[in-house]
Structure 1
Amino acid sequence: MNPNIIKAAIGGGVATGVALVAAPLIVGAMGFTAAGISAGSIAAKMMSAAAIANGGGVAAGSIVAVLQSIGAAGLSFVAKVGLAFVCGPVGALIGLKIP
């Protein structure tokens, strides 16, 4: 089998796996948690700015609302597919550059 195909497959798999694990961890570290937004966190500052910009509320579908949804429930199936769709080919290209 062609070694480039093996390197691309490994790179794509690793990149996708890392993205699917890292994304929820990063969102949680920002302060978007299952219990709500953590006081004093980056998430709290983002929520405050969004509320000020929207006259006191956080708009549905805004970045703050989406990140809180991820923090509370994890990534949706569609989000996981999207990450895999983007990260897989990028990882494959990186894998091809490894000697």
Structure 2
Amino acid sequence: MIKRAAAAAIGGALAVAAVPAVLGAVGFTGAGIAASSLAAKMMSAAAVANGGGVAAGSLVATLQSVGAAGLSTSSNILLGSIGSAFGALLGGAKRASPSPPPGGPRPEGEQPGENVPQVEPPKSPLGPEKHEK
């Protein structure tokens, strides 16, 4: 239980802290869009697609705003909640136990052929068949 709570806390904090770092690495900085970055290429493609300008409310405009001003409190709460849920999900996942070696000894009662009934094949009730012409 404590392990899952710790994973949830780490997941929430990591999600909130990762957004500004990732946006800065992509090129959406506090000073605007960095030259020769992925953000600059996105802005160029959006401007070409819209006839020379970036549309308000588009992905590029939204990411530029978040890169410059950061996320709002409600967005941070939502992002932290989703990160916490994901962290708790991953933190509570059970790992499969390693299987025993294929040729190794097995516990008693699990030996191959043990406790397997030996059944004789059924006998024909009519005896051997003779082919008549």
Superposition TM-score, scaled by structure 1 size:
0.88
1:92 aligns with 2:88: yes
Q: Output the aligned Cα RMSD.
A: 1.3
Q: Deviations over 1:41-99 (max 9, x none)?
A: 00000000111111111111111111111111111112212212211111101111267
Gaps of 5+ in 1: none
Q: How many residues align?
A: 95
Superposition TM-score, scaled by structure 2 size:
0.67
Gaps of 5+ in 2: 96-133
Q: Structure 1 segments of 4 or more deviating over 6 A?
A: none
Larger RCO, structures 1/2 (Cα 8 Å, 6+ apart) = 1
2:18 aligns with one of 13, 16, 22: 22
Evaluate the alpha carbon distance shift between residue 98 and residue 10 of structure 1 in structure 2; reply closer, same or farther with a 3 A threshold: farther
Counterparts of 1:54 and 1:20 in 2: how far apart (Å)?
A: 32
**% same residue:** 54
Query: Residues 14 and 91 of structure 1 are in contact (CA less than 8 Å); yes or no, is this contact kept in structure 2?
Result: yes
Larger helix fraction of residues: 1
